[in-house]
Amino acid sequence: MAMDEIVCNCMNVTKGMIKEAVDSGAVTLEDVQNVTSAGTACGGCIDSIQQLIDEFTSTKK
């Protein structure tokens, strides 16, 4: 998946933006929602966002 791929269509949030949020300290879905607004409209992307958070937090450090 490319970093400029849109994860959340409602809020136009890319995979890269999720990664940035995690890199700057977000660890939960809520954190990422606060930072990027991803998943705050229809909610249909929540599962994908959570998956990315899991992926990014596990590869961090």
Q: Report if residue 18 touches ligand FES, rule: CB under 6 A.
A: no
Q: Applying CB under 6 A, does 16 fall inside the site for ligand FES? A: no
Which among 2, 61, 48 has a CA at the least distance from the CA of 25? 61
Determine, following the binding rule CB under 6 A, whether residue 9 of this chain makes contact with ligand FES.
Answer: yes
Q: Rounded distance, CA 45 to CA 24, Å?
A: 21
**12 interacts with ligand FES by CB under 6 A:** no
What residues from 28 to 47 belong to the interface with ligand FES (CB under 6 A)? 38-45
Query: Which residues make Cβ contacts (< 8 Å) with residue 42, sequence separation at least 6?
Result: 10
Give residues in contact with ligand FES (CB under 6 A): 8-11, 38-45
